[in-house]
Amino acid sequence: MARLLFPEDFHWGAATASYQIEGAWNEDGKGESIWDRFTHTPGNVRNGDTGDRACDSYHRFDEDVALLRNMNLQSYRFSIAWPRIQPTGKGAANAKGLDYYGRLVDALLDAGIRPFPTLYHWDLPQPLEDAGGWPHRDLAGRFGDYAEIVTRSLGDRVSDWMILNEPNVFTACGYLLGIHAPGRRSLSDFLRAVHTVNLAHGDAFRAMKAVRSDLRIGTAFNFTPCEPHRDSDADAEAAERWHAFVNESFLRPALRGAYPGFFRDGSAPLEALAVEEGDAERMRAPLDFVGVNLYTRTIIQDVPEDDGLGARPALPFGGDEGPKTDFGWEVWPDALRTMLVRISSDYERPEIEITENGCSYGDRPGPDGRVRDARRVEFYRSYLEAVHRAIQAGADVRGYHAWSLLDNFEWGEGYEQRFGLVWVDFETGERTPKDSARWLGQTAAENGFEV
Ligand code: IFM
């Protein structure tokens, strides 16, 4: 037996997002979001589920803070719903919305837990979508205004922030594939959305630093290491193009002020992205840390007939060697080590926070009420071993946030996929910590675990 210990001031935490847990979709002056509209439109979400009530954390956040404290967690990643703050996406702030997050932050601080908010985890005010949504360039400036309002309100008590959650996911699923809100399917809208988001990222970063230059600001990117399907140069090159596209289309503009060349000829589609003169500087956001959301790897094959990207995943959600979660995602812990090491070597060893990592398993309470989710415990143990190996290889990892604190609304899948450390009865709102919550709690208390 050996003990894996993590760095001394490592932050152990858990993550959630506003739309997935809060409920109270139309209370206290909150405006409609694109997810309210999307879920209220029949046919978009499995079983017709909505986030109208979700985990009811808007009313039960004290219980959630107590759960975190009982698990010895020191950091809580949550997100702020833009339409609670600006119901129509512009203009004066809604005092009740700001007050809710102020109370949550105070409760966390009283419990000795670091509040770690994300400004945008996908719930765009619907009126901004009606005005063109993310493909419309003007949205960047609006987002900068929102970032300033929130930072002015909470920046005296919150030092560590994320601007965006998974920009590659919400632009692709929302504007290209149509499987997330707002449900559009257009290559041109998608590419324009990518660019507006990059501009918004830079604008928000500067707006926040102008309020307080000592804030520690990052973004939670969704990463996946890309591996060639076959042992061929063509697939190896395709995997690199996919890596540039999926892992770097937002990271590189922020840290380097340029798009990665993800096309076969080494270029990026700047015209289709609608890049204008001066945008390179505007996209730049020299983040204080890189947030890593990671679940599995991606296996890529060359697509010879396509002279654009010329690459696509050969298999859905990982490879076919590891076990699968109930969502069908391959459990492949080394994906996390590989990605942490690659980011560290390609971007001069930035500070890294693991902002999401977790798995969906449906284990339910037994007759004694206990949730024996042994597969989730094994998932966390194996991925944390991979984090430890990456730290030993030189990655500067400062914290780890399990996705998720609670079973919650899993977007297009509704309530069918359960990612929580804590079981939620969606009828009553009752919360039951699973075995994995106890395991992670002990790990956090001991700053490591036995292997
Ligand atoms: O639930 C999501 C979260 O909102 C963003 N990252 C992935 C999670 C699991 O799909």
Q: What is the pLDDT of residues 256-268, one digit of tens each?
A: 999 999 999 999 9
Phi and psi (nearest 5°) for 54? 45, -125
Number of H helices and E strands in the chain, helices first, is 16, 15
Query: Any idea which residue has 């079981």 for tokens?
Result: 423
What number does CATH give the domain 3-450? 3.20.20.80
Pairwise CA distance, residues 380 & 162, whole Å? 23
Q: Are 363 and 357 in contact (CB under 8 A)?
A: no
Q: How far is CA 168 from CA 90, 194, 350, 353, in A?
A: 24, 8, 20, 18
| Residue 276: other Cβ atoms inside 10 A | 12
Å from CA of 410 to ligand 1 middle: 7
Q: Where would I find the H helices in 212-285?
A: 233-248, 251-256, 270-273, 279-283
Q: Of 166, 248, 353, 410, which is the active-site residue? A: 166
Pairwise CA distance, residues 216 & 398, whole Å? 12
Q: Are 198 and 254 in contact (CB under 8 A)?
A: yes
Q: How far is CA 313 from the centre of its chain?
A: 21
Atom of ligand 1 nearest to the CA of 222: 6
pLDDT digits (tens, 9 = 90+) for 428-441: 999 999 999 999 99
Pairwise CA distance, residues 290 & 286, whole Å? 10
Pairwise CA distance, residues 382 & 166, whole Å? 23
Query: Any idea which residue has 């009283």 for tokens?
Result: 110
Å from CA of 17 to ligand 1 middle: 9
| 356 close to ligand 1 (CB < 6 Angstrom) | yes
Tokens for 449, please give them.
Answer: 């675990």
Tokens for 286, please give them.
Answer: 């020299």
| 302 close to ligand 1 (CB < 6 Angstrom) | no
Q: Are 269 and 188 in contact (CB under 8 A)?
A: no
Determine the pLDDT at residue 1. 87
End-to-end CA separation in angstroms for the chain:
6
Tokens for 104, please give them.
Answer: 């949550």
Spell out a b/e string for 58-97, using b for 16 or more CB atoms within 10 Å of the CB, else e: bebbebbbebbbebbbbbbbbbbbbbbbbbebeeebbeeb
Which residues are paired to 4 by β-bridges? 449
Show the low-confidence residues of the chain (pLDDT under 70). none
Neighbouring residues of 272: CB distance < 8 A, sequence distance ≥ 6: 187, 188, 191, 192
- How are beta strands 216-223 and 226-228 bridged, if at all? unpaired
Å from CA of 78 to ligand 1 middle: 12
| Residue located nearest, by CA, to atom 1 of ligand 1 | 410
Q: How far is CA 227 from the centre of its chain?
A: 22
Pairwise CA distance, residues 379 & 332, whole Å? 9
pLDDT digits (tens, 9 = 90+) for 289-307: 999 999 999 999 999 999 9
Pairwise CA distance, residues 107 & 1, whole Å? 39
The residue type of 451 is: V
- The yes-or-no answer on residue 356 being catalytic is yes
Of the candidates 115, 290, 167, the residue with the CA atom closest to the CA atom of residue 217:
290
Q: Where are the domains of the chain?
A: 3-450
Determine the pLDDT at residue 441. 98
Pairwise CA distance, residues 364 & 240, whole Å? 40
Q: Running DSSP on this structure, what letter comes out for residue 46?
A: G
Determine the pLDDT at residue 374. 98
Q: How far is CA 193 from CA 152, 179, 291, 418, in A?
A: 27, 16, 21, 30
Determine the pLDDT at residue 279. 98
Atom of ligand 1 nearest to the CA of 410: 1
Determine the pLDDT at residue 122. 98
Tokens for 118, please give them.
Answer: 């994300």
Q: Of 148, 248, 330, 356, which is the active-site residue? A: 356
Å from CA of 57 to ligand 1 middle: 17
Q: At what angle do helices 95-110 and 139-154 cross, to 10 degrees?
A: 50
Pairwise CA distance, residues 26 & 150, whole Å? 20
Determine the pLDDT at residue 62. 98
pTM above 0.85, yes or no: yes
Neighbouring residues of 351: CB distance < 8 A, sequence distance ≥ 6: 218, 288, 289, 290, 396, 398
Q: How far is CA 402 from CA 92, 379, 381, in A?
A: 35, 11, 12
